[in-house]
Structure 1
Amino acid sequence: MFLAWNEIRKNKFRYILISGVLMLIAYLVFFLSGLANGLENMNRDAIDKWKATGIILTKESDKSLPQSSMYLDEAKKLKGVENAIIGQLNTIARNEKVKANVSIFGIERDSFLQPKIIEGEMYSKVYEVVASESLKNDGFSLGDQLQLSATDKVLTIVGFTSQSRFNASPVVYTRLDTLQQVKYGGAYSENQDRINGIVIRTSDLSSVKTSPELEVVEIESFIEHLPGYTEQGLTLQIMIYFLFVISAVIVAIFLYVLTVQKKSMFGVMKAQGISNRFLAQSVVVQTFLVTAIGVVLGFVLTVVTGMFLPNAVPVSFDYITMILYGVILIAVAILGAIFSVVSIVKIDPLKAIGG
């Protein structure tokens, strides 16, 4: 420990350079993990609020809520299972100033899908809605009249709920009959008893019996089939894994170069009776100190950056995951130092000092 720290103090610039590079790598890893977590939340915010174990959809929908369509009577056939019906529509909503892609959820009042109000009141009349607070951040406010694409129906925001997104779109909650009128164009159309799915809560999904044309989908499987959800997460995870490898390679190259430069010094130390084990421990401790400093600085820089990011940036930091990634970065850096350890062990004291 003494030898490792003493050398760092005497060669500050070299090790500041290494720590600086590792700090930037750690910063990028932490930021990408926050981006992956934020994009994940954007897709599943509203679904997580259901606290459901499964959802019933049509088999032909390929586990997609917008593509599923069934009759309202299907919910009445379920026995002994807590359930809530849901209708869904993707559309564009606009007020006098801004517009946004939204996902409208038509639900029954007092069902477990009903959102909690943080501002305003719960909808009670036809064409009244409760919107996600992300729409408030985008420029919508209480009392706004929402013009919808492909329909002349107008909705009124009477309340806001906490952040709620479905497949990256802010959710607007309303009565089921309101959604049906917006979606099908009339209160008594032939489609007035159509819904998109039935959300269920049960400890045993296999015991739920449905019509042959329907299927019970486990909620995590339903989330994984959201468009782009799996692909986004996998892409960012692969980038993070590559950064782990890059970190190990950078540390290995830096330390190997430093070891070659100090070859004669290591030869003298070995000639004086200092063991390979002691020298190897010195390199490992040195690597740990330099990497730990870089990772900690990267962590602090990421947290500070997060404080100044606008709401439009989909970043959500999970500090436990960040700490785990920090530990992995330190571990792979130490693995990268093995090349230097091996080169130190192979040093012949006589050749190193020119004997």
Structure 2
Amino acid sequence: MNLALKEMKRNKGRFIIIGSIVFLISFLTLIISGLANGLSQDNAALIKNLPNGQFYMTEKADGTFTMSQIPQHLQDEVLEQQKDAVALSIQMGFVNDTEELQHGVAFVTSTASNLFPSIQQGEVMLDESLQEKGIKIGDRLVNNQLNGELIVKGFVQEQKYSHAPVAFISQQDYQEMYRSNAMQLIFIANPEVQAIDELQAFSAKALLESIPSYKAEQLSLNLIVGFLIVISGMLFAIFFYMMNVQKIGLYGILKAIGLKTMKLFQLIWIQMLVITAIALILAAGLSQVFALLAPGGMPFHLSLMTTLQFAGIFLVIGFIGATLSGLQIKQIEPLQAIQRGDG
């Protein structure tokens, strides 16, 4: 270990350069990951916040729940048999506040369940993001598809759908607005798939992937993150390969005096670990500062667990890259290496 640290101190310029590159890549990866998670929450928090379970829609809907209309008799049958089941519907719309400003929302209604707020006719519960736009408890909101008014009963946290704040309304108001008595989905809080005649089961992940905007956003951002991770591994491999080429003579001498090949690998691994650890600590700290200073309207969510997961990935990738670059060490013959180094 002392040999590895002494070499880093002697050639600190080279190691600072590679450390800076690793820091920038890991920082960028964490920022993009935070944006991906933030957009995911902003697009589908309503679905993601539900417990592990299965969604059901009609088979004729062909995987598009907005086209699903569950017959009343079938809904009653499922809700009677499954005590933890709830039927719900989601439709995009808008409300006008007391100052006649229009706000886009996702109207949600459901049968009685502790998973969703209990709403009476003429009431509405809104996502807290609308509170920042001046809407207060007790305000009266209107919609041109509804004859009466909706009185704001309260606010809920992190309830978004399709980048719009959720508005929980009663079944009566929903039926009047959308002229439909049928619910679109049935959710059963049970991870095991249960066969129900005329209905098709979907996991939360499968349901989210059926939303075009969600799938496109996450796919593009996750591809960027993946490429950055691969690039970081290639950087480690290239950097240590060039370093090893320059030190072939030194490695020959060390082998000649009895230093084992595994010890040389350990030297590379220690250097990789020190560089990566420092870079990741700085990147993680700065990304948390960015999360605190990010504008309120920016969907950014970077949990400690996600940060630790990426730290582990970068350490593994760095280890693989450094190890691949050191495979040439096994081929070094002490005498030839010394002669090459002298030449």
Q: State the TM bucket, normalised to the shorter chain.
A: 0.7 to 0.9
- Deviation larger for 262-271 or 333-342: 262-271
Aligned residue type for 1:42? D
State the match for 2:318 in structure 1.
333
Give yes or no for contact 2:31–2:287 (8 Å, CA) kept in 1. Answer: yes
- Letter of the aligned partner of 1:124 in structure 2? Q
Q: Deviations over 1:269-292 (max 9, x none)?
A: 444444433323212211121122
TM-score normalised to structure 2 length: 0.85
Structure 2 residue aligned with 1:81: 82
Aligned pair in 2 of structure 1 residues 55, 346: CA closer, same or farther (>3 Å)? closer
Aligned residue identity for 1:91: G
Aligned with 1:42: secondary structure? Answer: helix
Letter of the 1:81 counterpart: Q
Cα offset, 1:138, TM superposition: 4.1
State the identity %.
Answer: 26
Q: Which amino acid is the alignment partner of residue 280 of structure 2? A: V
| Secondary structure in 2 matching 1:93 | strand
> Does residue 350 of structure 1 match 2:325?
no
Please tell me the root mean square deviation across aligned C-alpha atoms, in Å: 2.8
Residue 104 of structure 2 corresponds to 101
1:182 — aligned with what? Answer: 177
What amino acid is the match of 2:105? Answer: V
Q: Counterpart of 1:198 in structure 2: which amino acid?
A: I
SS at match of 2:137: coil
User: How far, CA to CA, are the matches of 2:266 and 2:194 in structure 1?
Assistant: 56
Map of 1:25 onto structure 2: 25
Alpha-carbon offset, residue 111 of structure 1: 2.6
Q: Provide closer, same or farther for how the CA distance between residues 169 and 331 of structure 1 changes in structure 2, counting only shifts above 3 A.
A: same
* CA distance in 2 between partners of 1:72 and 1:278 (Å): 72
Partner of 2:245: 260
| Map of 1:307 onto structure 2 | 292
Structure 1 residue 30: deviation in Å?
1.7
Alpha-carbon distance in 2 for matches of 1:50, 1:256: 49
**2:284 counterpart SS class:** helix
Q: CA 1:29 to 1:73, structure 2 compared with 1: closer, same or farther past 3 Å?
A: same
For structure 2, the 5+ residue unaligned runs are: none
TM-score (norm 1): 0.83
Q: What SS does structure 2 have at the residue aligned with 1:206?
A: coil
The separation in 1 between residues aligned to 2:235 and 2:124, in whole angstroms, is 54
Residues 38, 314 of structure 1: 8 Å contact kept: yes
Secondary structure, counterpart of 2:138 in structure 1: coil
2:167 to 165, 172, 181: 172
Decide which moves more: 17-26 or 87-96. 87-96
Q: Distance in 1 between matches of 2:259 and 2:193?
A: 66
Checking the alignment, whether the CA contact within 8 Å between 2:146 and 2:176 is kept in structure 1 is no
Shift of 1:172: 0.4
From 80, 93, 97, give the equivalent of 1:91. 93
Instruction: Output the amino acid matched with 1:107.
Output: S
After superposition, the Cα gap between the structure-2 partners of 1:99 and 1:52, relative to the gap in structure 1 and judged at 3 Å, is: farther
Contact 1:167-1:227 within 8 A present in 2 as well = no
Q: Deviations over 1:219-255 (max 9, x none)?
A: 4432332333333333322222211210111122222
**Higher-helix-fraction structure:** 2
Q: Offset of 1:43 from its aligned partner?
A: 3.4
Q: CA, structure 1 residues 9+139, in 2 after alignment: closer, same or farther (shift >3 Å)?
A: farther
After superposing the two structures, state which structure 1 stretch, 261-270 or 147-156, moved more. Answer: 147-156
State the partner residue of 2:308.
323
Letter in 2 for 1:168: H
Which stretch shows the higher mean deviation, 154-163 or 76-85?
76-85
Instruction: Answer whether contact 2:276 2:315 (CA < 8 A) is retained.
Output: yes
The one-character-per-residue Cα deviations of 1:93-152 (angstroms, maximum 9, x if unpaired) are: 3433754431101234x433432xxxxxx64342x2000112223443323343446667
Counterpart in the other structure of 2:57: 57
Partners of 1:98 and 1:139 within 8 A in 2: no
Q: What is the distance in 1 between the residues matched to 2:11 and 2:191? A: 62
**Corresponding residue of 1:13:** 13
Distance 1:113 1:340, change over 3 A: closer
